[in-house]
Amino acid sequence: MEATGQMSPSDVKFDTKYGPLINGEIVEAADGYIDAVNAATGKVLSQIGRGGKEDVDRAVKAAGEAFPKWADTSIEERSILMNKIADVLEENQDRLKLIECMDTGRALHEFDLDYQLAINQFRYFAGAILTHYEGESRPVENGYLITKKEPLGVCAQIIPWNVPMIMTAFKLAPALAAGNTIVLKPAEDACLSVIEFGKLISDILPNGVVNMVPGYGPEAGQALIDHPDIDKLAFTGSVGVGRLVGRTAGDRILPVTLELGGKAPHIVFPDVDIDSAVENATLGYTFFNGESCILGTRLLVHDDIYDEYVEKLIERAKQVKIGPPTNRSTRLASIINEKQGERVLNYFDIAREEGAKILYGGNRVTVPGHEHGYFIEPTIIEAEPHMRIAQEEIFGPAATVTCWSDIEEVVKVANDVEYGLAAGIMTDDLEKGLTLANRIDAGSVWINSYFNFQTGAPFGGYKNSGVGREYSKEALDAYSQSKTIAAAYKRPPFGTFM
């Protein structure tokens, strides 16, 4: 699934502007446009629509009109179309990766994984819908009992800027497979690849089945979740906004899926090969530029190996290549924008004020020709578990290190945060690892290989990390509702109720 390497950034041509995708075509944005900026250079790549109530209303109406026919489409036909979407994504991935690289500031090589996961999502649900519980019947006294699954209707989906194509696939694939229509609100900070993808699938899907309205969260996002004709809400992003979405769902009695924040522990036992454990941990906190809720940013290291481990962790951090996002040898690139870059740097100041010790990094660095970008060193911080730097999402390439000696102690520390999305364990004793995994409050626990995503494995979190699961057949249930039909051969005889 790797890029061919035949395309360069200069080969990528953008439309002058990207309005909302409504009813199968790009239309003019009612409320004007927003500059889409290269995260590393500051160059304006294009403009995206500033979605608002009018654009959202048009998109919801288009989805509503398309729903009855799409819901009646056979699961076999839906499966065929899902595979066609996977095909077109695979065929166009080189260009889309470059677009996403420039838009987000992330290193180009990372998108090989992103697009593998996204393509696999469409292929997985193309197959899963064929075997999903569509219904069963059984004889009962005086007739038959029939149960079936039906789609929900028009789904509002809101995704973040850090992994646009992964998030798009996570949201679209199960909803489409189950027979729903969609209005997707991609993040204004990075959505060019998503809208380009939307243009591609508009040639595959019936008009109105997938609609996209870019724009600011308080405008386009709020208009979407408040729209009276929405039948399901799905959101990935911050806990604060997730609470607002959940409150709206509660007020209107709508089904909701929320994938929110994380502060994952990555627990290191003393029996590991330290070099491989350091490599695994470095990947676990620097991938995605550190801008991900699943990162293993709390390294909990057994005190028998703590000093040697931390020393090697620092040496490995020094070797991480910081450079232009579009260079395939780059391993750490630009934070999405100035606001996020300053937020990360501010967390380092908070860490110092609380008494944490920055062992390495903590600085913004300059990459020639990309002075606009916020390139931040891999940062290792020795911290106590109660400190903010060890409790709150940083969303930058930084990890805290804390030592432990007792298994009860490390379980308590690992679980003593508001989140429970992911966790990592490194040990040569698989029995010990599995025993600990069962005690960690996290939706995904990866032993000895961080980011070990397996297609069809449920993904979601405990506690404030969210509600519901994606990436699996459970997502089909989240985008479906059950109906029971009891059919009697004969009506009760006259006089039964006298």
Residue 322 carries which DSSP code? B
Longest pairwise C-alpha distance within the chain: 91
For residues 306 and 231, membership in a common domain is answered with no
338 is catalytic: no
Instruction: Assess if residue 495 is contained within a domain.
Output: no
256 & 343 share domain: no
Residues 208 and 236: beta-carbon distance below 8 Å: no
pLDDT of residue 431 exceeding 60, the answer is yes
In a shared domain, residues 391 and 470: no
The answer to whether position 102 is within a domain reads yes
Question: Is the same domain home to 251 and 372?
Answer: no
Bridge-partner residues for 470, per DSSP? 459
Please write the tens of the pLDDT for every residue from 274-301. 999 999 999 999 999 999 999 999 999 9
pLDDT per residue over 397-418, tens digit each? Answer: 999 999 999 999 999 999 999 9
Q: Are residues 157 and 24 in the same domain?
A: yes
Residue 45 scores a pLDDT above 50:
yes
Q: What number of other Cβ atoms are within 10 A of residue 490's Cβ?
A: 7
Are both 208 and 301 inside the same structural domain?
no
Q: Nearest Cα to 297, choosing from 284, 309, 310? A: 284
Long-range contacts of range 437-441, CB-CB < 8 Å, 24 or more positions apart?
439/411, 439/415, 440/265, 440/411, 440/414, 440/415, 441/414, 441/415
What average pLDDT does range 224-253 have in this prediction?
97
Q: Residue 306 belongs to what domain range?
A: 265-447
Determine the average pLDDT of the residues in 263-271: 98
Residue 74 lies inside a defined structural domain of this protein:
yes
> What is the pTM (predicted TM-score) of this model?
0.95
Residue 3: band (very low, low, confident or very high) from pLDDT cuts 50, 70, 90:
very low
Q: What is the CA radius of gyration of the chain?
A: 24
CA distance 30 to 424: 46
d(CA 58, CA 212): 11
Does 253 share its domain with 317?
A: no
Is the same domain home to 223 and 347?
no
Confidence at residue 198, expressed as pLDDT on a 0 to 100 scale: 98
Residues 216 and 99 in one domain: yes
Which percentage of the chain shows pLDDT scores above 70?
98
pLDDT at 5: 53
Question: Using one digit for the tens of pLDDT, what is the confidence trace for 194-204?
Answer: 999 999 999 99
CA distance 33 to 51: 8
Q: Are residues 269 and 368 in the same domain?
A: yes
Q: Which residues of 323-362 are buried (b: 16+ CB within 10 A; e: fewer)?
A: bbbbeeebbbbbbbbeebbebbbebbeebeeeebebbbbb
Rounded Cα distance between 401 and 391, Å, is 12
Which of 196, 293, 377, 393 is catalytic? The answer is 293
Q: What is the mean pLDDT of the segment spanning 80-104?
A: 98
Q: What confidence tier does 134 reach under pLDDT thresholds 50, 70, 90?
A: low
CB 55 within 8 A of CB 20: yes
Q: Which of 110, 219, 259, 377 is catalytic?
A: 259
What single-letter amino acid sits at 256? V
Residue 118: inside a domain, yes or no?
yes
Tell me whether residue 94 is in a domain.
yes
Statement to judge: residues 177 and 304 lie in one domain = no
409 is catalytic: no
Say if residue 234's pLDDT is above 70: yes
Residue 455 forms part of a structural domain: no
pLDDT tens digit sequence for 448-497: 999 999 989 999 999 999 999 999 999 999 999 999 999 999 998 888 77
The enclosing domain of 334 has a CATH number of: 3.40.309.10
Number of domains the chain is built from: 2
pLDDT value for 286: 98
Whole-number Å distance between alpha carbons of 383 and 347: 13
460 in a structural domain: no
Task: Decide which of 134 and 78 is more confident.
Answer: 78
